[in-house]
Amino acid sequence: MLFQDLPVELIADILGELDLENLVKMCYLSKRFYMVASDSSLNPWRKPIARNLNAFAYEKVLKHLSVRSVVPRHNWIEILTSARPSYILYEATLPNMKSSEWEECFSRRFLPSWKKWKKESSWKEAYLKMLHRVWHRTMTSCKADESWTKYVILNRNGAVNEMEASTRNFNPSAVFDEYKLQSNLSHLETRIRLVLQLSDVRILTFGTLSRSFSSHILNPNAHIFFNPPGIVPYDQDNNPLRRITSAQRPYNLVDDHRGFSTLHTTSPALHPSKLYTRLQYPQPSPTHYNYPFFTPDENGTRWIGSEEFHEDGLHWVGSLMIIAQLLGPSRDPQNAGGHQYASFDWGDLLAISPWMEDFITKKIDGPGLGH
């Protein structure tokens, strides 16, 4: 049997193992190959494009892939969601897409609160303006685009404060030190956690862990933020997932979705109908592709928070500060954009951790207790 006589599904799988340059060549070898490559349901382009994006190393042919009618348009949604800002803005030939597709790219790439910059412009214009804003801030020390940076404080009583500080002087470590001082926790070490990484920002938390069992300082909602009720970093045999390979990893969702509870909290349980799904809006980077489920990656430190109950008996105490830090131009998970930060509000908090809706008691703009 000749290769071109194989079932189209098998041909598409084989073509998907090629690099982009050879895939382009294969498309024009026969009419059958062309029809397989142009079929949006078979889409052999998905795998090689994903390999380019995940490796942050782009083949030359990717730059002008949009001019080839054989490539289904929806592949560009993935490219515009994950590729480097400088590559999209100054190198790639952009495709002709519908307004709804540009909106999809915007929603997947950026935090929900960033939609405030759209105003009266089209979704394409809004997307490109926002992408240029991100590129500009990561390449320079300019802070004129956003004079005030918002961040979120998750309090131990269940309230969430949306705070803001001058972007020019914003130093999250110094800000959190002040919160520690107010709570008489200055003697405790500040624990910084990488919760989630997106295409352009990574979500960081600043908190404190202690062995104290005083209910006056415990923050059970901080634990719930890191560990959604019903999802644990352990498999069904109670083995730590971080010790097994990706191929061995089970689907780590507990069916009953019982709420988190300890001796010191009366937080409500999640309703069984509230099933978790992988985050899509915004879309995580490959290092956190499985969020909010466990992603076995050495760069992800979100599940370190489980140590408070499963290892050393430590508990989250005091307030938990959540911020968004811009990534550097290399897109490397270990390389952030210097001291550049972006706004993160309580709407963004609920977008990346929707389960918190059942535990947040108040949403407060600015400081205070919301009385």
Question: Per residue of the chain (371 residues), what is the pLDDT tens digit?
Answer: 677 778 899 999 999 999 999 999 999 988 999 999 999 999 999 999 999 998 878 999 999 999 999 999 999 999 999 999 999 999 999 999 999 999 999 999 999 999 988 887 899 999 999 999 999 998 888 877 788 999 999 998 889 999 999 988 899 999 999 999 998 999 999 999 999 999 999 999 999 998 866 677 889 899 899 888 877 654 444 454 443 333 333 333 332 222 333 333 333 444 433 578 889 999 999 888 888 887 765 454 565 544 444 445 788 999 999 999 999 765 554 444 457 899 999 999 999 999 999 899 889 888 876 54
Smallest CA-to-CA distance from 363 within 157, 194, 183 is with 157
Q: What pLDDT sits at residue 301?
A: 55
Q: What pLDDT sits at residue 293?
A: 82
Q: What pLDDT digit, counting tens, does each position of 243-269 carry?
A: 333 333 333 333 222 233 333 333 344
Q: Residue 23 corresponds to which tokens in the numbers above?
A: 């895939």
Q: What pLDDT sits at residue 329?
A: 66
Task: Extract long-range pairs of 122-126: CB within 8 Å, 24+ residues apart.
Answer: 123/99, 124/97, 124/99, 126/102
| CA distances (Å), origin 238, targets 102, 148, 246, 305 | 43, 45, 16, 17
Q: What pLDDT sits at residue 218?
A: 87
Q: What pLDDT digit, counting tens, does each position of 15-66 carry?
A: 999 999 999 999 998 899 999 999 999 999 999 999 999 887 899 999 999 9
Torsion 183-189-190-193 (CA) sign: negative
Q: What pLDDT sits at residue 310?
A: 43
- C-alpha 52/C-alpha 19 separation (Å) is 9
Q: What pLDDT sits at residue 356?
A: 92
Q: What pLDDT sits at residue 212?
A: 66
Answer yes or no: are the C-beta atoms of 201 and 342 closer than 8 Å: yes
Q: Residue 212 corresponds to which tokens in the numbers above?
A: 């104290």
* Three-class secondary structure assignment of the chain: CCHHHCCHHHHHHHHCCCCHHHHHHHHCCCHHHHHHHHCCCCCCCHHHHHHHHHHCCCCHHHHHHHHCCCCCCCHHHHHHHHCCHHHHHHCCCCCCCCHHHHHHHHHHHCCHHHHHHCCCCCHHHHHHHHHHHHHHHHHCCCCCCCCEEEEEEECCCCEEEEEEEEHHHCCHHHHHHHHHHHCCCCCCCEEEEEEEECCCEEEEEEEEEECCCCCCCECHHHHHHHCCCCCCCECCCCCEHHHCCCCCCCCCCCCCCCCCCCCCCCCCCCCCCCCCCCCCCCCCCHHHCCCCCCCCCCCCCHHHHHHHHHCCCCEEEEEEEEEEEEECCCCCCCCEEEEEEECCCHHHHHHHCHHHHHCCCEEEECCCCCC
